[in-house]
Structure 1
Amino acid sequence: MLWIKLSIGLLLAILSSQPLYAAPFIPTDDLQILETLPTDSPSPRYSSVSDLTATTTLNSADNAKQLLERAYLEGDPRALGQARAQLDQSEDQSIETLMLRARALQSDHRFTQAKEILAQILNQDPAHPDALLTLSSLLVVQGQFDEAMDYCDQLNDPSLEVYQAACIAQIQSMTGKLSQAKQTLNSLASLAPRLDASTALWIYLIQADAALRSSDTTLANQVFAVIDDQTVPALMARADWLLSIGKYQQVIDLLQNHTDKDALLLRLIEAQMKMGDPKADANLALMKERIDVWQLRGEKAHTREQAMYALLAKQNDDALNLAQDNWQQQRETADIVLYATTAIKADSKKDINIIRQFISDTQFEYPTLERALILGKIEECLNCTATQAMNKDKS
């Protein structure tokens, strides 16, 4: 199965990676350079339009699949653009190609269009496992948990037992059954070494999210002992955990060579600011240059990153407005934390109440965040007090 062999569940971390030498400008001729790629970027897949056109006629689905996986794991936006160009060139309407188109749209945050294509696939094949699992994953990202669970339940082929269990556990972890989900995930993690790498990564990332929200140091140590430290999603998860427990120098050590990835750069800046590192200002300016380029292009897929930047730049009102916009599209843990933090920083009782209502309605579990919302005050490292108390109890 094409799609189940890719990383499923947390597939929206397609991260822009272009550092700039100067503020953006509009070129007046073809010889002007608008931006340059980082020196450690992977080599380009195509050198000309003819290369791209030739590729679309040969193993197009395989090439697009590889490009989408590269975009996700390496945070390379060129790979996403190349995949989209290939798929736009193709007239193939097979389910395999439709799945790839849905993935590309999902990666570009065009969720409505992605869901339309997935519905088209399910109209042709109601039991199509890739479409069911991808649609469930997309609905989880949007916080539509009941609908997401319906699609998990339809994965009833015995050969899909691991995927169904992970699908259900992910939703349970977000809807009031975090302890139960952690037990299921521990069982799945014991199978991970015998699974394909992308499925194992999916399970580990769900575990990392569960560890973060439950301030579970033991689980975090278990996950980060086995998860890779090279792919962007894994680095994000590790950095989020370290930031939540105040291990800022470890974040700097982890991410200082990954400034070409926006989501990682933002986490690096946060750690540098907490440590009083003078490099924080230069990196904040670098992030601003990238945002200027997104705005110049009219790109809409970076709202979370723009809100994170505004928060770091102490533009609290702008950060809240952007977090509100992001909330309409995404409701993963990072989005909930971002919205809560900006609401508290801006002292917006209305937005605090919206988040608390969401937590009440879904039974979303993140005790330290909920406590911050109740108090209207958020600590520099959200899980510091909780993890210190847990460690003291164990000693």
Structure 2
Amino acid sequence: MVTADGLPLKLKLRQAERRKKLTAFLLVTPLLLFIIVTFVVPIFDMMRRSIDNPEIGEVLPRTTEALQAWDGRDLPPESVYAAFAADMVEGRENRTTGRVATRLNYEISGMRSAVNSTARRAARLEAPFKESLIETHARWGDPYTWQVIQRESGRFTASYYLSALDLRYDESGRITLQPEEQRIYLPLALRTFWLSGLVTVITLILGFPVAYMLATLPLRYSNLLMILVLLPFWTSLLVRTTSWIVILQSQGVFNDIVAFFFGEGARMQLMHNQIGTVIAMSHILLPFMILPLYSVMKTIPPGYMRAARSLGANPFTAFRRVYLPQTIPGIGAGALLVFILSIGYYITPALVGGRTGQLVGNLVAFHIQNSLNWGLAAALGTLLLGSVVILYFVYNRLIGIDNMKLG
């Protein structure tokens, strides 16, 4: 078959389909570009920063080259010290030694002062440079200092990820755990996952009955309740968190009520700890659990429960055997959404969490704003992103299995 212009019908149909696809692609191109610029590019930039390590190689090029022949035992030869002195003189002139000082300080505490003091005296150093540098600062007489410089002179590094996992290189170059009193990130990660899981369970317990009521009430009542559920989205997150500060503080509304009935000694510490973090986050994230549950429950025909009752099942058995299994996709979607949002939460734990209620997101912000260790912040963020991706694939797998069973 051919069309009026003599072309085969199949070819004409393929051309029409291509035009439709091209038109659709052009329509979504602005959105695609927006996602790439605001979402994909920042993620890849964060992942790049987590392994990026240009400081030592760029500021100490002679030292980096000289250390390539060093076996890592005892102190380096005089040639390494001479190259380091020349790099210090050039770095002092170019004002770049601060970059090396900061980078080495991430690996060895106190290296910033060692590098800066050496840079100030670099122009007065004389041969033999080994003795001169060791006299300038004792750090240059420690083989471990030069091992760190040699190891971190590459373009890329795994040190930020090791630090984010409370690991380190020992003096023999092996990867070991940090001393117990210096472990920060693993306990904080465990606390983050624990509190996120607890918030997810609490929102599920509170949100399930609300979603069930919204799905079963007459439309004129359920619409009113849905407005109340959506109302928090119209209120600033900062305002909601501040409201919980007013309620939970020692002289707040809740403790005033407790003191009125049970005396001043009954006041409880609900702020600047994990309790305050869980309460505030559960309230803020509750709508994110209710809405997925409601969207699934609304599609469950009420006749299923009546049919189960007519076949002899009591209300609890009918709910457990008939209704609850059909809500699993909503439970999974709501739990995944709340858990992922909880893992990356920052404002609420910062305001109400105190020392014991902080999450990983607060430490990421600290390294970006205060310590300026962007590499470690990027490594922590990348690990969080990897956890979320793994969680999503596990959820997708489990939901797929459940759907096959239900089918």
Structure with the larger helix share: 2
Question: Does TM, scored on the shorter chain, surpass 0.5?
Answer: no
Normalising by the residue count of structure 2, what TM-score does the alignment of the two structures yield? 0.22
Bigger Rg, structure 1 or 2: 2
